[in-house]
Amino acid sequence: MDLRAGTPEELETLLEDAFVLHNEQALPQLFGPGAMLVAGALPVARGWRQIARVAAQLWDADRSYLADPRRILQARGTALVVSGRAINVARRGDDGFWRYAISLLDLDTATKGDVS
């Protein structure tokens, strides 16, 4: 799996792919150093190790992420991605590729298998 997102939209697709495939090695790589993942009532995950742990808990609960970007606002190297059940902030790294800085997934209103 190529984990290099050239746009915020591509980053959303890569996140969906990592969730659908339960790819625990790929998913944390989509997040920048010190990034944060907030997923429903689960503890806030900071950093790659905690993000991987929360993702595993989501998969165990049969939760997934379906990319559904409805609005993307971009200012230089920062993007806000608003989806049906997620709000994500992404940043373009020095290498030119996009990674999440903050990901807020609303799992409280989502149905099983659907985090989008």
pLDDT digits (tens, 9 = 90+) for 31-57: 999 999 999 889 999 999 999 999 999
| pTM, full prediction | 0.87
How is the chain split into domains, by residue range?
8-105
Contact 40, 105 (CB under 8 A): yes
Burial of residue 63 (number of CB atoms within 10 Å: 0-12, 13-18, 19+)? buried
Which CATH number does 8-105 carry? 3.10.450.50
- What does the pLDDT average to over 77-104? 96
Q: Which two tokens stand for residue 94?
A: 């020095």
Tell me the residue length of the chain.
116
pLDDT digits (tens, 9 = 90+) for 97-114: 999 999 999 755 444 444
- Residue 112 has φ and ψ, to the nearest 5°, of -55, 140
